[in-house]
């Protein structure tokens, strides 16, 4: 089995693959000050509850946008699985040309998402990832990553309202009934939800105009299912896109040096 790990700024998503089939997946909080053993026991309990034994994990691939977390994840893999993980980064084979001024600047999660989306749809597309930041990435019909844009994430905007406006409460995100809302909470929900739907549609339209294309728009991330129905542009929601991209990139880099230490 293959263990895939996507470390984001807010959450870490973990999946276990048997061949091409995703057997289990979990989402936990990214906590930089946790120890190796704290994370190790948390992950151990997750796959133990799913009746997976550590010796069944034959290799591990990791994408990470929080560099200090690699000081936890890599020793965790070595200690609890006796495996040196494959890290998505410069030098790894993605099968996708990265036409960015400095390819090293592109977040690993953005590349992984782009690889998975193009492999699935085989056409020009825009990937919208609703994470801590909301990212937009364009891949042309030749499967080349051309770049994209980054906006503040939905939760960042919501928290900013609460923290910077004295009389505004912290609200849970939910689908508002109307843009002309009749109370403060509904007004904030409407502004956030409809506002971000408009942001998505506007940026998608701008990217498509610049690319002179009509790309498929694929959304992923924790809030994709909530926001996508309010947009005009998102055609596909795929919450497992990043995990699938990690699996694809792993197989594009095998056979590689055996992951088991001492093998």
Q: How far apart are CA 242 and CA 157, in angstroms?
A: 24
SS3 46: helix
Same fold, 2-87 and 103-245: yes
| Closest by Cα among 211, 220, 262 to 241 | 220
Q: What is the pLDDT of residues 91-149, one digit of tens each?
A: 899 999 999 999 999 999 999 999 999 999 999 999 999 988 999 999 999 999 999 99
Q: How many CB atoms lie within 10 A of CB 201?
A: 16
* pTM as predicted: 0.89
Q: What is the pLDDT of residues 71-92, one digit of tens each?
A: 999 999 999 889 999 999 988 9
Domain map of the chain by residue range?
A: 2-87, 103-245
Name the fold adopted by 2-87: Nucleotidyltransferase; domain 5 (3.30.420)
Q: How far apart are CA 240 and CA 221, in angstroms?
A: 8
Q: What is the DSSP string of 27-90?
A: EEE--TT--HHHHHHHHHHHHHHTT--GGG--EEEEEES-GGGHHHHHHHHHHHH-B--EE-ST
**Sheet arrangement for strand 2-7:** 21-29, 11-18, 2-7, 59-64, 86-87
Q: Show which residues are catalytic.
A: 109
- Would you say 249 and 243 are in contact if contact means Cβ atoms under 8 Å apart? no
Q: How far apart are CA 105 and CA 119, in angstroms?
A: 23
Class level of CATH domain 103-245: alpha beta
């Amino acid at each position: 089995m293959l263990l895939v790990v996507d470390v984001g700024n807010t959450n870490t998503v973990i999946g276990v693959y048997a061949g091409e089939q995703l057997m289990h997946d979990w989402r936990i909080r990214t906590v930089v000050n946790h120890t190796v053993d704290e994370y190790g026991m948390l992950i151990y309990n997750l796959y133990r509850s799913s009746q997976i034994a550590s010796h069944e994990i034959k290799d591990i691939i990791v994408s990470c946008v929080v560099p200090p977390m690699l000081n936890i994840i890599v020793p965790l893999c070595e200690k609890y699985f006796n495996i040196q993980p494959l890290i998505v980064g410069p030098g790894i084979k993605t099968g996708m040309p990265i036409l960015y001024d400095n390819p090293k600047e592109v977040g690993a999660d953005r590349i992984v998402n782009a690889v998975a989306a193009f492999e699935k749809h085989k056409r020009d597309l825009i990937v919208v990832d609703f994470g801590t930041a909301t990212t937009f990435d364009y891949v042309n019909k030749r499967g080349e990553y051309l770049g994209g844009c980054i906006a503040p994430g939905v939760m960042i905007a919501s928290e900013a309202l609460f923290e910077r406006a004295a009389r505004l409460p912290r609200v849970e995100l939910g689908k508002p009934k109307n843009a002309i809302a009749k109370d403060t909470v509904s007004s904030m929900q409407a502004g956030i939800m409809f506002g971000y739907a408009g942001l998505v549609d506007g940026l998608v339209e701008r990217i498509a105009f610049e690319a002179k294309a009509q790309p498929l728009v694929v959304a992923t991330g924790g809030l994709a299912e909530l926001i996508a129905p309010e947009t005009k542009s998102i055609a596909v929601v795929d919450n497992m896109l990043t995990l699938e991209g990690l699996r694809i990139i792993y197989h594009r880099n095998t056979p590689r040096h055996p992951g088991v230490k001492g093998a």
